[in-house]
């Protein structure tokens, strides 16, 4: 038996013994575990599952054991992933610490910073949020104006951020700040880590068209941050910022992947897959009676499968380097797919996908309405689709950059 | 199953690329067209392909092949798509030899497959009877008469029909015109009495033929597989060919795309490279993304042919997925190939026109995007 097969065997046994029964059922949104100081567990087995997985470092399987990670090789991590999906295990911990900050902290942080923050990310003890966009800095992110001025051993931070996901629930923030105003915009940015409980930090949720409020406005009024909490070198934060964005795009591109058996997963068969929904709401038995919708659904599912193969191939091709410029392609395509998916759910379900609240609709149906509206943000958050296409054109295809041509003139 | 080529496959791909660029560039196709070549392909190039062992790639060792798998044939077809190589590789090898391997008896295989591998025997498969692909619609009849069958009917869009030494004719021994039961396969010599073969000149300069069968009498031994039981093998082989052609289409689309990107960097208007215009950049980036998806589905589909754990139905789903996707993207990229080159793209002197012509023929061959979306939906029970 190879070592990899032995690892598969022991992993399978461990999962059989340690994954609680309710953690093998499809995830429901209220039970997603984000961790943090104020975490509340709707389902007590979620806590048990998180603790057991974190103990082995398997919430972050490939991170170094030195900092609490699983220390697994790429192949072992892929075996773990297989085995988890084999028993339909839920994701034990979802967090921006895992998907965004952790990878760049491991790449750019000091040993002390890693020792302080990585184990807490692995165990879900600290919940992080991302301080990037500002009211005046959206697609042109590098024009950000939140400033940090050195005062003794501290930076004094003033300014505001917007679209800060779950800022009202987060414990710490990784934040882009301007530390030099005299140089070109990309060269005066630094990357700061600080506690959201610091004096002078306030947050205000933004209500979205879907009715929910996952994003906030975040304000900094003379927030004092110890200079040791600067990550990477002063004024070189843009490099880290861009690297983190690649990780973010890879995460968001996952929206394009079908979940579980159906197109959107879920617990009832009528809204889990597009074809199931299309037939259910039309009373069709063997095939979708509307030939145009049937063709559109087939086309969507073909693209969706092709996209899943592409994500898989991209993983196989990426060596130790982690995500690269193709993450922009995956982000662009995955988000467009997800938007198409929900437009098709609306067509498949008719007016039952247009309910806002009340007893005339099943909970799952109301959820589809909200998810459809939420999906519209996919091609804006983490860099708009237009920005992703710019990156592909410039970095992958090597096409000339019109902005830098214009600036030369 | 990995979606990345193995070292051996990559080496083969590199050598195939080298061969096609050196020995069979697009100028070869142009010459065949300008000289109105009788055979429609370059015999010297084909001989070299035979010497390289390409026709034996997916054929069993006992029949003179190399058993390198469809993955090998796939990368060769992909590279041949880059320079639009016309050769018997698709009709005789990918289609003919695969059908012979699937449906033939041990005797038939050992008598004929080695000759296909050595290039001395050319096969062609005659299936479609109408302008739009529909493999179930078989009207050509085969009536048993003692120890012979009598074949009557018409066939169209028969790839390499006019150069093949033997044709595999799909005919009906019983059943309604649309039923899969009652379909039989016959090996017929091209000089059989009552068989009329008319070459049809197609837009992509490849060989196609129209066949008329009038009282063509063949011995019972020419039956390939059981009487009335030919459709299953045919269906399996159609999927192999669809996947192979998807690999070829991937090569052509990749070549067009790379030519587009080069042109965007080279052509100047308004004092700058036109590739600096965002309207063109975004279209190029979208094409790049679609092409990446195509590459993944071709790798997955070719891999499925070599993967013994995949069922016939799995392969059918992969074939329709790959052909549908490649048809769509080939149409997109071949159109943009002309548009982004502007006026020069419309000239015959420039090569890009050859690609749009081949793209449409390849799209139509064995089912276009709509055909395969419909089939994909049926295979997935919706």
DSSP B224: E
Cβ contacts of B333 on chain A, cutoff 8 Å: none
pLDDT, mean over chain B: 96
Cβ contacts of B277 on chain A, cutoff 8 Å: 402
Which residue of chain A has the CA closest to B370?
A295
What confidence score (pLDDT) does residue A26 get?
83
* Coil, helix or strand at residue A95: coil
Q: Give me B199's structure tokens.
A: 């070459």
Q: Which of B3, B4, B382 sits opposite A275 (nearest CB)?
A: B382
Tens of pLDDT, residue by residue over B123-136, are 999 999 999 999 99
Q: Which of B284, B297, B377 sits opposite A309 (nearest CB)?
A: B297
* Coil, helix or strand at residue A401: coil
Q: Which residues in chain B belong to E strands, given as ranges?
A: 123-126, 141-145, 148-159, 166-172, 183-189, 195-201, 207-219, 223-224, 268-269, 272-273
Which of A272, A344, A400 would best serve as a mutation to test chain B binding (most B beta carbons within 10 A)? A400
Tens of pLDDT, residue by residue over B51-66, are 999 999 999 999 999 8
Cβ contacts of B370 on chain A, cutoff 8 Å: 295
Give the Cα separation of B113 and B98 in Å (integer): 9
- Say if CB B328 and CB B293 are below 8 A apart: no
Give the Cα separation of A68 and B348 in Å (integer): 65
Average pLDDT estimate for A25-54: 93
Average pLDDT estimate for B106-122: 97
Tens of pLDDT, residue by residue over A210-238, are 998 889 999 999 999 999 999 999 999 99
CA atoms within 13 A on the CB side of A338: 27
User: pLDDT at residue A113 above 90?
Assistant: yes
What confidence score (pLDDT) does residue A268 get?
61
Which of B263, B289, B376, B381 would best serve as a mutation to test chain A binding (most A beta carbons within 10 A)? B289
Q: Which of B265, B281, B373 sits opposite A389 (nearest CB)?
A: B281
Q: Which of B285, B373, B380 sits opposite A393 (nearest CB)?
A: B285
Give the minimum alpha-carbon distance from B25 to chain A in angstroms, rounded to a whole number.
Answer: 25
Cβ contacts of B325 on chain A, cutoff 8 Å: 302-303, 306
Asked if B288's CB is within 8 angstroms of A313's CB, the reply is no
DSSP A89: P
Which of A397, A403, A406 would best serve as a mutation to test chain B binding (most B beta carbons within 10 A)? A397
* Coil, helix or strand at residue A185: helix
Burial of A408 (0-12, 13-18, 19+ CB in 10 A): exposed
ipTM summary value: 0.96
User: pLDDT at residue A28 above 90?
Assistant: no
DSSP B311: -
Which residue of chain A has the CA closest to B376?
A298
A403 shares contact with chain B (CB less than 8 Å): no
User: pLDDT at residue A1 above 80?
Assistant: no
Give the Cα separation of A376 and A385 in Å (integer): 11
Which of residues A279 and A325 earns the better pLDDT score?
A279
Q: Which H or E run contains A98?
A: none
Q: Which of A287, A397, A401 sits opposite B288 (nearest CB)?
A: A397
Average pLDDT estimate for A315-336: 82
Which of residues B326 and A247 earns the better pLDDT score?
B326
Q: What are phi and psi of B183, to 5 degrees?
A: -90, 130
A269 shares contact with chain B (CB less than 8 Å): no
According to CATH, the topology of domain A128-235 is Butyryl-CoA Dehydrogenase, subunit A; domain 2 (2.40.110)
Asked if A313's CB is within 8 angstroms of B293's CB, the reply is no
Domain ranges of chain A: 3-122, 128-235, 245-403
Asked if B4's CB is within 8 angstroms of A402's CB, the reply is no
Asked if B292's CB is within 8 angstroms of A326's CB, the reply is yes
Count other C-beta atoms under 10 Å from residue A146's C-beta: 22
User: pLDDT at residue A184 above 50?
Assistant: yes
Q: What is the largest CA-CA distance in chain A?
A: 74
Q: Which residues in A96-188 belong to E strands, given as ranges?
A: 128-131, 147-151, 154-165, 172-178
Give the Cα separation of B263 and B278 in Å (integer): 15
Q: Which H or E run contains A140?
A: none
User: pLDDT at residue B271 above 80?
Assistant: yes
CATH, domain range A3-122:
1.10.540.10
Average pLDDT estimate for A90-107: 96
Q: Which of A316, A389, A400 sits opposite B4 (nearest CB)?
A: A316
Give the closest residue to A167 by CA, choosing from A205, A136, A138, A139: A205
Burial of A43 (0-12, 13-18, 19+ CB in 10 A): middle
Asked if A309's CB is within 8 angstroms of B3's CB, the reply is yes
- Say if CB A288 and CB A282 are below 8 A apart: yes
User: pLDDT at residue B332 above 70?
Assistant: yes
Cβ contacts of B275 on chain A, cutoff 8 Å: 393, 399-400
Q: What are phi and psi of B17, to 5 degrees?
A: -60, -45
Asked if A313's CB is within 8 angstroms of B4's CB, the reply is yes
Give the Cα separation of B212 and B207 in Å (integer): 17
Determine how β-strand B148-159 pairs with β-strand B195-201: unpaired
Give the closest residue to B40 by CA, choosing from B112, B90, B82, B94: B90
Q: Which residue shows structure tokens 């003379």? A: A222
Asked if A316's CB is within 8 angstroms of B285's CB, the reply is no
Give the Cα separation of B137 and A33 in Å (integer): 56
Give the Cα separation of B307 and B328 in Å (integer): 26
Asked if B282's CB is within 8 angstroms of A400's CB, the reply is no
CA-atom Rg of chain A in angstroms? 22
Give the Cα separation of A58 and A20 in Å (integer): 16
Q: Which of A309, A317, A400 sits opposite B273 (nearest CB)?
A: A400
Asked if B382's CB is within 8 angstroms of A297's CB, the reply is yes
SS (H, E, C) B109-122: HHHHHHHHHCCCCC
Cβ contacts of A287 on chain B, cutoff 8 Å: 377-378, 381-382
C-alpha distances out from residue A269 to A264, A276, B318, Å:
10, 7, 25
**Residues 301 through 360 of chain B touching chain A, CB cutoff 8 Å:** 321, 324-325
Which of A305, A401, A408 would best serve as a mutation to test chain B binding (most B beta carbons within 10 A)? A305
* Coil, helix or strand at residue B200: strand
Which residue of chain B has the CA closest to A280?
B382
Q: Give me B192's structure tokens.
A: 């059989």
- Say if CB A92 and CB A33 are below 8 A apart: yes
Q: Which H or E run contains A194?
A: strand A189-195
Q: Angle CA(B321)–CA(B325)–CA(B327) in degrees, nearest 5? A: 120
User: pLDDT at residue B37 above 80?
Assistant: yes
Give the Cα separation of A80 and A68 in Å (integer): 17
A320 band by pLDDT with thresholds 50, 70 and 90: very low
Q: Which of A299, A313, A389 sits opposite B285 (nearest CB)?
A: A389
Count other C-beta atoms under 10 Å from residue A403's C-beta: 12
| Whether CATH 3.90.1150.10 fits A245-403 | no
Asked if A312's CB is within 8 angstroms of B296's CB, the reply is yes
Domains parsed from chain B with CATH numbers:
7-120 (1.10.540.10), 124-228 (2.40.110.10), 231-379 (1.20.140.10)
- Say if CB B261 and CB B238 are below 8 A apart: no
What confidence score (pLDDT) does residue A319 get?
60
> Concatenated DSSP letters for A240-261?
HHHHHHHHHHHHHHGGGSPBTT
Asked if A397's CB is within 8 angstroms of B284's CB, the reply is yes
- Say if CB B16 and CB B76 are below 8 A apart: yes
DSSP A360: T
């Amino acid at each position: 038996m190879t070592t990899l097969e032995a690892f598969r065997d022991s992993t399978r046994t461990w999962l059989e013994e340690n994954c609680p029964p309710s953690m093998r059922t499809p995830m429901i949104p209220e039970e997603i575990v984000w961790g943090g100081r104020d975490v509340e567990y709707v389902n007590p087995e979620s806590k048990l599952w998180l603790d057991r997985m974190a103990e082995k470092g398997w919430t972050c399987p490939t991170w170094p054991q030195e900092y609490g990670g699983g220390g697994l090789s790429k192949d072992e991590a892929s075996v773990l992933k297989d085995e988890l999906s084999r028993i339909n295990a839920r994701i034990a911990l979802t967090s921006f610490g895992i998907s965004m900050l952790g990878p760049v902290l491991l790449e750019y942080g000091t040993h002390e910073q890693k020792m302080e923050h990585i184990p807490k990310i692995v165990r879900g003890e600290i919940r992080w949020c991302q301080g990037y966009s500002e009211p005046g800095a959206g697609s042109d992110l590098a024009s950000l104006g939140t400033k940090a001025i050195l005062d003794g051993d501290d930076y004094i931070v003033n300014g505001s951020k917007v679209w800060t996901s779950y800022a009202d629930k987060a414990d710490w923030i990784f934040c882009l700040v301007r530390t030099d105003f005299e140089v070109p915009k990309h060269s005066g940015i630094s990357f700061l880590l600080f506690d959201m409980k610091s004096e002078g930090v306030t947050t205000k949720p933004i209500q979205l068209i879907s009715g929910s409020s996952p994003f906030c406005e975040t304000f900094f009024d003379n927030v004092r941050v110890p200079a040791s909490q600067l990550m990477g070198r002063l004024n070189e934060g843009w490099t880290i910022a861009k690297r983190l964005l690649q990780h973010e795009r890879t995460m968001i591109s996952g929206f394009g992947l079908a979940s579980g058996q159906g197109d959107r997963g879920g617990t009832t068969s009528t809204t889990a897959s597009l074809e199931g929904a299309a037939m259910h709401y039309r009373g069709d038995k063997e095939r979708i009676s509307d030939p145009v919708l049937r063709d559109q659904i087939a086309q969507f599912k073909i693209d969706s499968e092709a996209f899943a193969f592409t994500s898989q191939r991209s993983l196989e091709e990426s060596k130790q380097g982690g995500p690269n410029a193709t993450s922009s392609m995956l982000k662009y395509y995955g988000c467009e797919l997800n938007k198409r998916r929900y437009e098709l759910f609306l067509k498949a379900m008719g007016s039952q996908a247009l309910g806002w609240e009340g007893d005339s609709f099943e909970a799952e149906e109301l959820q589809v309405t909200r998810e459809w509206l939420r999906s519209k943000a996919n091609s804006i958050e983490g860099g708009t689709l237009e920005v992703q296409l710019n990156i592909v054109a410039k970095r992958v295809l090597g096409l000339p950059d019109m902005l830098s041509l214009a600036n030369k003139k | 199953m990995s979606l990345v080529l193995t070292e051996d496959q990559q080496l083969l791909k590199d050598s195939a690329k080298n061969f096609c660029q050196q020995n069979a560039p697009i100028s070869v196709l142009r010459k065949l067209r300008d000289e109105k070549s009788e055979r429609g392909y370059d015999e010297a190039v084909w001989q070299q392909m035979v010497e390289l062992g390409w026709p034996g790639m997916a054929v069993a060792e006992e029949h003179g092949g190399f058993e390198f798998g469809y993955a090998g044939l796939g990368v060769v077809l992909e590279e041949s798509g880059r320079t639009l190589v016309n050769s018997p590789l698709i009709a005789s090898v990918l289609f003919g030899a695969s059908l012979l391997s699937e449906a033939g008896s041990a005797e038939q295989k050992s008598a004929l497959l080695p000759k296909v591998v050595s290039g001395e025997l050319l096969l062609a498969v005659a299936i479609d009877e109408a302008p739009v692909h529909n493999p179930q619609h078989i009207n050509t009849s085969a009536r048993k008469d003692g120890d012979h069958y009598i074949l009557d009917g018409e066939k169209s869009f028969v790839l390499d029909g006019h150069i093949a030494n033997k044709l595999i004719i799909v005919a009906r021994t019983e059943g309604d015109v649309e039923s899969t039961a009652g379909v039989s396969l016959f090996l017929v010599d091209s000089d059989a009495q009552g068989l009329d073969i008319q070459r049809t000149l197609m837009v992509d300069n490849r060989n196609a033929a129209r066949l008329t069968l009038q009282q063509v009498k063949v011995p019972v031994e020419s039956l390939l597989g059981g009487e009335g039981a030919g459709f299953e093998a045919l269906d399996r082989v159609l999927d192999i060919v669809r996947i192979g052609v998807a690999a070829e289409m991937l090569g052509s689309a990749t070549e067009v795309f790379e030519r587009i990107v080069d042109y965007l960097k080279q052509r100047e208007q308004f004092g700058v490279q036109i590739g600096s215009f965002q309207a063109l950049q975004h279209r190029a980036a979208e094409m790049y993304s679609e092409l990446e998806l195509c590459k993944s589905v071709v790798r997955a589909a070719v891999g499925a042919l070599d993967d013994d754990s995949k069922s016939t139905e799995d392969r059918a789903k992969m074939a329709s997925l790959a052909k549908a996707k490649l048809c769509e993207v080939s149409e997109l990229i071949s159109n943009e190939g002309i548009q982004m080159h502007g006026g020069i793209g419309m000239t015959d002197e420039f090569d890009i026109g050859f690609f749009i012509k081949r793209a449409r023929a390849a799209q139509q061959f064995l089912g276009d995007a709509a055909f395969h979306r419909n089939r994909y939906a049926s295979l997935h029970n919706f």
